Amino acid sequence: MNKKHIVLATLLSLTSFVVTAAEAPKLSLHRNNIKVWTYQTENNPVFQYKAETTFDVPLERAVAVVLDVERTPQWVPYVGKAQLLSRDEKKGEFTLYMVLDFPFPLKDRDVVIKGKMTKNADGSISIKNNAVQNNYPEQPDIIRLTKYAGDWTFQKLANNKVKVTTTGYADPAGAIPLSFVNMFVQQQPYQMLMKMKKEIYNPLYAQPKLPDVLK
């Protein structure tokens, strides 16, 4: 596997809003064939989301976009840097360091992510990610995220049609204005999938090569 290709389940929800009880998923946005649900659970009083859409391309092509770490800042909002720290191609495991560029006056965030990619019995591909404690040095004026989880799922609907689902949450730590929180939890996954819709037709992914663990 080329070094520039690694799983990047990129920084799904980075918002928090404490509530006292669980809430059922709410369809917050439905536009351009993209649906975004927001919800909360009793065990995790942090805004979570699920977003899904379909692309008229083979499953492998959609996965290849998410695996191309070098181009991630081109289509994932707020991602300023993504760096591969380690990988195990046989196990399908990896560790990433990522920096989020938030607008002034908010401080930037960073996170170390441990992920695993698998091909399921039904032919779908899953990428699961969690924040981990790591000795990667913390940077001045950047807040380290320690609570993060996120998944990608790619399901083949036809030879040239794939359903893409992304879910996740993160506690952004520190103070973030409510206006930014409300915008981020709904708009970030929507904007990400809209940009992915363009990126997926980049000639770079015309003949995608996935790691052996996904074949």
In degrees, rounded to 5, the angle at the alpha carbon of residue 186 between the alpha carbons of residues 53 and 166 is 40
Domain 23-208 CATH class label: alpha beta
**Which pLDDT belongs to residue 20?**
37
**Distance of alpha carbon 215 from alpha carbon 127, whole angstroms:** 14
The domain segmentation of the chain, as residue ranges, is: 23-208
**Which pLDDT belongs to residue 42?**
67
Per-residue pLDDT of the chain (215 residues; tens, 9 = 90+): 444 443 333 333 333 333 334 567 789 899 999 999 988 766 655 678 899 999 999 999 999 999 888 888 999 998 999 988 888 888 999 999 999 998 888 889 999 999 999 999 999 999 999 999 888 999 988 999 988 888 999 999 999 999 999 998 877 777 776 566 666 777 889 999 999 999 999 999 999 989 989 98
**Which pLDDT belongs to residue 177?**
67
**Which pLDDT belongs to residue 43?**
63
Q: DSSP for 129-178?
A: EEE----SPPPTTEEEP--EEEEEEEEEEETTEEEEEEEEEE---S---H
